[in-house]
A = this chain, B = another copy of it.
Amino acid sequence: MPRSSTAEERRRKLLPLLAAAFGSLGYRRATTAELASRCDVQENTLYRLWPDKKAMFLAAVDFLFLRRMDKWKAAIDKTHSEDSHAVRLIELTGEDLGENGLYRIIFAALNETDDPDIKYALQRLYLRYHKRIEEEIVRHRKLTGAHKAAEDDDTAWALIALVAFMNIALDLELMNGRKRQQFFSTIAIQLLHLSP
């Protein structure tokens, strides 16, 4: 049997490109021809690495989520241990909103929720996301002793809602960048119930 399998490695190399393509084009406009061209390979090659377009999409979703979590981890590692992670993450989110296309890909996926695989993947993603945020809220509230206006898990969902809408606002140009950032931090802080 000749040539050791390099498929896994090739998948890893192509994923960021696929993710970027899906992120900026959405599901529909990201045609297989376009994906191939952006990866600088033939369509054929993609189909040798993934069974179909949906699989490429799901792999991309997963990749972007994990990359986002890595970014959070890196940001937190640079924070002093006694500072609030939550506040740092809010700043971070305000800054590189939409940068890596995670939300655009999620919104693209939301239109495919009739497909059970896609729906399940999104569900899992949101639940993991929620869990991660709730952890930080708990930590934040313990640290600051802030009086809770809502349960931690409700606050976590509310922050997720806020971020989702920030991306809508970005896409639709509902507010300019400065305003959007001010809006986000005002409301996020209010939700954490930290008097300014």
Main secondary structure of the interface of A (DSSP, over half): helix
Interface string of A106-129 (1 = CB under 8 A from B): 011011011000010011001100
Q: How large is the interface on A (under 10, 10 to 19, 20 to 34, 35 or more residues)?
A: 35 or more
- Is A39 part of the binding interface, using a Cβ–Cβ cutoff of 8 Å? no
Among B108, B157, B186, B187, the residue within 8 A (CB) of A169 is: B157
Name the segment of A45-53, A54-62, A71-79, A159-167 touching the other chain: A159-167
Name the segment of A3-11, A85-93, A136-144, A170-178 touching the other chain: A170-178
- Is A68 part of the binding interface, using a Cβ–Cβ cutoff of 8 Å? no
Chain B nearest Cβ from A146, distance in angstroms: 13
Chain B nearest Cβ from A172, distance in angstroms: 5
